[in-house]
Amino acid sequence: MSSRYNHKIVEKKWQKIWSGKKVFNVKKNKDKKKYYVLEMFPYPSGKIHMGHVRNYTLGDVVARYKKMRGFNVLHPMGWDAFGLPAENAALTEKKHPGNWTYQNIKIMKSQLLQMGLSLDWDRELATCHPEYYKHEQKFFIDMFKAGLAYKKEAEVNWDPVDKTVLANEQVIDGKGWRSGAVVETKKLSQWFLKISKYSDELLKDLDSLNQWPNKVKLMQSNWIGKSIGANIEFKIFKNDKKITVFTTRPDTIFGATFLAISCDHELVDMLLTKNETLKKFIEECKNLNSDKVKRGYETGLVAEHPFIEGKKIPIFIANFVLKEYGLGAIFGCPAHDQRDLDFANEYKLDVIPVVKPKDSTDNNFTIQRKAYTEDGVIINSEFLNGLNIEDAKKVIIKKLEEKGFGTKKVNYKLRDWGISRQRFWGCPIPIIYREDGEILAEEEVNLPVKLPEIEEFNESSTALANINGWKDTVCSKTGLKAVRETDTFDTFFESSWYYFRYCNTKLDTPLDEDDINYWLPVDQYIGGIEHAILHLLYSRFFTKALRDLGYFKLNEPFKGLFTQGMVTHQTYKNSNGEWIEPKSVLSTDGKFKDKDGLEVFSGKIEKMSKSKKNVVDPNDIISLYGADTARWFMLSDSPPDRDLQWTETGIVSSYKFINKLWDLVEKYENYSVKKISDTQTIEILKENINFVTEYIETFQFNKAVAKIYEYVNTLSLSIQQKGLSKDELMWCLKKLCIILQPFVPHISEEIWFNISGEGLCINQKWTIEVVEKKKKIKIAVQINGKTKDVLEIAQGLTKEQVIEIINKSDKIKRGLENKKIIREIYVEGKIFNFVV
């Protein structure tokens, strides 16, 4: 045995043994309890970053721990392989995006292998592979036939120079990121999935997800945005048309002083003819999307108030009325809605307060610049007067329904999921447009609808529509000519079901219900908070949709969710405001200088990003210090859900710890003590083990790390004092290997091998230790709540016996001198407090 620990050799060795023995390859086994650990799969961007290292280390701790607790652990990995960066790379390289993607997968896989993750690589998948995406084409067809997928006109960001549709993230300050051209909104026919059908279920079932962070549930709930109110119908004076509005405040109907409709409300078309000023106004509104100024156009039409005989309300077209929400029409009650009030002040409209604060005695309660939106008492509202808001809502809705002017109505912010992308590197939407005008799903036997193999990838290749001949096809039923849909799926489509596919990636059908029944739901899903809404909501929707399509009976895909914090690092800038790499910064006399001696200023600690030059490449770290060191650092100090600050000293100290562990083996080999026993130390170590167990179970890995440090410190001290017998020491070291295994698996195996040689450490059982009840306990003795002394006393004494011991304490005697004891408070095993 060489005295210096060589991580390069050792880590490779165990990685080879694990994969050779297929230690992490699992099979469905109904006699064994399963546990499904999943980390959000990576986009193959080229190489792994620290965020991946953190994410996969956290997951690996859980996976290894659960395996050692006897679970049949499914822990798979794959690639979220469609997406725009591949197209951009393809443009530069003039090669097919697949080349770049598969090449990156190869590199990143080798990096992940170096981390020593307990993954079942036999289940690896890449979403860009036809054997993967053909199944989601099938899902789409099922959804299409079930009415869950449909086509409608929708606005997209259109880059007039690149002649392409841009994602929202690709529009920067209203301009295309690539061309710099001003982006136009263009109406295109787009495919949508009817996620809105599940609004209520998606909201309700959040309650059942008790192993999800509240934060994520709240974000989803806000996104779904359920609101309860009423639709109210207004007759237009001297016109046979009507306007229906949605409101959550029907109780303020008597305060309505105007109606406002959105720019593309159906009434606008009628008004538009021969009206140039209106046309101009509408055009302006389109360009004022992000404008907070309230603008309106008075239509000249007036509506009749449903409850006030003869009252006329002007109708405006207003820029602040959203077309996609509710009915694209509102009634304005300026007194109790800030937006309405701003608008009313601008256009000199009446402001009639109909709610006043409960305790207000002001009979002339008026509203100036600030709308009153709190609870209160209804005024100026005939039959509603005197009611509170809640009751008034009930009464007015009942009245509306009686009179036929409106109904109770529930609205959601959640809109249907637009899945069309006018791109190349995505899954083709399996629809054909036949020459007779029929829109049909591709026949299932014809799946997959594959992406074209093209030799040279250029600007015009970035959309399937531009690829010569690809879209031409024939309807296999009728022989009629047809063209394919040239849009591809949003890449969230792929990630919405990959966790099902892992159950069996070789299966010819999308999935097997029996597999799903066994493996799903995912017991622990781990990933970044940035996916709190979209990915997680889409996946939940997919699960419910597939359930309704008869694939299985599962309601929710992810039983437990954990969102980890970011990896951050110090940033530096020079006097020109340019970012400087931290590793090139030198610190002298409290000042920072770069390589050339120019002064550098330390900036904020921020998320690692290329643009700020504060990234640390995991590859460098792993080759220099080893995977165990990197993993240990990722788990030390910071709680997993908080941001982790990368520091050079931190990684070095982790490295030192790994080497210190190795020194223990040497100490063991040279250890020669017989027939002595240190049961006290062993009891402490057992306690430590149980703490580690508890802290893994509760995702407090930083605390587990602290307890392992304590374990090693206690053990080192005992070795030094030669208190343990050699057998006891072996037991302690074996236990140490076991608790280290989820965290730093390579050195854990290596130590295990050196001291025992029997089997693999990862195959050992992780047990809960039985700790003897302590005979002596410590209690704090306080005077007026301030601790004056700490005494060690025997377990289970009476109050009188305790007082007797306390009376012997000098410190307490001194503290009680010349004082009168009013009260004595004794909490067994904790404190004794004198109140004087």
Partner RNA sequence: GGGAGUAUGGCGGAACUGGUAGACGCGCCGGAUUCAAAAUCCGGUCACUUCGGUGGUGUGGGUUCGAUUCCCUCUACUCCUACCA
Interactions with RNA, residue window 405-424 (CB under 7 A): 411, 413
Task: Give least dist CB 820 to RNA, A.
Answer: 14
Piece in contact with RNA (CB under 7 A), picked from 50-58, 104-112, 139-147, 632-640 = 632-640
**Window 516-535: residues binding RNA (CB under 7 A):** 529, 533
The whole-angstrom separation of Cα 39 and Cα 561 is 10
Question: 428 by DSSP, 3-state: which?
Answer: strand
The whole-angstrom separation of Cα 645 and Cα 571 is 11
Closest to RNA by CB, 81 or 352:
352
Task: Give least dist CB 36 to RNA, A.
Answer: 27
Among 146, 272, 676, 717, binds RNA (CB under 7 A): 717
Question: What mask of x and - would describe binding to RNA in positions 12 to 31, judged by CB under 7 A?
Answer: --------------------
Instruction: Tell me: does residue 347 bind RNA (CB under 7 A).
Output: no
459-465, Cβ contacts within 8 angstroms, sequence gap of 24 or more: 459/91, 459/162, 461/90, 461/424, 462/87, 462/91, 462/162, 462/164, 462/423, 462/424, 463/164, 463/422, 463/423, 463/424, 464/422, 464/423, 464/424, 464/428, 464/488, 465/422
Task: Give least dist CB 758 to RNA, A.
Answer: 28
The whole-angstrom separation of Cα 30 and Cα 519 is 10
**In whole angstroms, how far apart are CA 41 and each of 90, 116, 216?**
22, 17, 19
Task: Give least dist CB 122 to RNA, A.
Answer: 37
Task: Give least dist CB 506 to RNA, A.
Answer: 37
Closest to RNA by CB, 131 or 291:
291
Instruction: Tell me: does residue 6 bind RNA (CB under 7 A).
Output: no
Task: Give least dist CB 47 to RNA, A.
Answer: 24
Task: Give least dist CB 401 to RNA, A.
Answer: 17
**Window 309-338: residues binding RNA (CB under 7 A):** 319-322, 325-326, 328, 330, 337-338
Closest to RNA by CB, 28 or 323:
323
Tokens of 379: 């005024």
Among 570, 716, 756, 767, binds RNA (CB under 7 A): 716
Closest to RNA by CB, 293 or 770:
293
Closest to RNA by CB, 325 or 601:
325
Piece in contact with RNA (CB under 7 A), picked from 85-93, 117-125, 502-510, 783-791 = 783-791
**Window 285-314: residues binding RNA (CB under 7 A):** 288, 291-294
**Window 222-281: residues binding RNA (CB under 7 A):** 222-223, 225, 227, 229, 246-249, 262
H-run or E-run covering 526: strand 524-528
The amino acid at residue 127 is: T
**In whole angstroms, how far apart are CA 518 and each of 31, 117, 244, 513?**
11, 23, 50, 9
**Window 533-572: residues binding RNA (CB under 7 A):** 533
Task: Give least dist CB 551 to RNA, A.
Answer: 30
Closest to RNA by CB, 218 or 270:
218
Question: What mask of x and - would describe binding to RNA in positions 695 to 714, judged by CB under 7 A?
Answer: -----x-xx-xx--xx--x-
Piece in contact with RNA (CB under 7 A), picked from 189-197, 352-360, 444-452, 715-723 = 715-723
Among 19, 570, 645, 690, binds RNA (CB under 7 A): 645
* Beta-carbon contacts of residue 370 (< 8 Å; ≥ 6 apart): 338, 341
Query: CA end-to-end span of the chain, whole Å?
Result: 65
Piece in contact with RNA (CB under 7 A), picked from 17-25, 132-140, 398-406, 824-832 = 824-832
**Angle subtended by helix axes 679-697 and 701-720, to nearest 10:** 170
Tokens of 545: 């949709």
H-run or E-run covering 200: helix 199-204
Among 611, 649, 670, 672, binds RNA (CB under 7 A): 649
Among 204, 785, 813, 821, binds RNA (CB under 7 A): 785
Task: Give least dist CB 825 to RNA, A.
Answer: 5
Piece in contact with RNA (CB under 7 A), picked from 37-45, 101-109, 212-220, 381-389 = 212-220
Among 188, 652, 676, 768, binds RNA (CB under 7 A): 652
DSSP class of residue 362 equals -
The whole-angstrom separation of Cα 74 and Cα 496 is 18
**Angle subtended by helix axes 648-669 and 701-720, to nearest 10:** 40
Question: 683 by DSSP, 3-state: which?
Answer: helix
Closest to RNA by CB, 511 or 664:
664
**Window 751-780: residues binding RNA (CB under 7 A):** 778, 780
Tokens of 54: 């953190």
**Window 654-683: residues binding RNA (CB under 7 A):** 656, 659-660, 663
Task: Give least dist CB 203 to RNA, A.
Answer: 14
Closest by CA position to 106, among listed 44, 148, 159: 44
The whole-angstrom separation of Cα 203 and Cα 537 is 10
**Window 797-816: residues binding RNA (CB under 7 A):** 811, 814
The whole-angstrom separation of Cα 418 and Cα 192 is 4
Task: Give least dist CB 503 to RNA, A.
Answer: 31
Specify the residue for token string 């061309």: 179
The whole-angstrom separation of Cα 479 and Cα 203 is 46
Closest to RNA by CB, 280 or 656:
656
Closest to RNA by CB, 91 or 534:
534
Piece in contact with RNA (CB under 7 A), picked from 134-142, 354-362, 582-590, 781-789 = 781-789
Among 364, 576, 611, 720, binds RNA (CB under 7 A): 720
Closest to RNA by CB, 91 or 780:
780
Piece in contact with RNA (CB under 7 A), picked from 221-229, 272-280, 445-453, 474-482 = 221-229
Number of residues that bind RNA (CB under 7 A): 78
The whole-angstrom separation of Cα 39 and Cα 53 is 11
* Beta-carbon contacts of residue 644 (< 8 Å; ≥ 6 apart): 54, 565, 566, 567, 568, 634, 637, 638
Task: Give least dist CB 616 to RNA, A.
Answer: 16
* Beta-carbon contacts of residue 250 (< 8 Å; ≥ 6 apart): 229, 230, 232, 393, 396, 397, 400, 406
E strands, 622-664, in order: 644-645
Task: Give least dist CB 656 to RNA, A.
Answer: 4
The whole-angstrom separation of Cα 82 and Cα 489 is 10
Among 636, 688, 693, 741, binds RNA (CB under 7 A): 636
Asked whether the beta carbons of 454 and 461 are under 8 A apart, the reply is yes
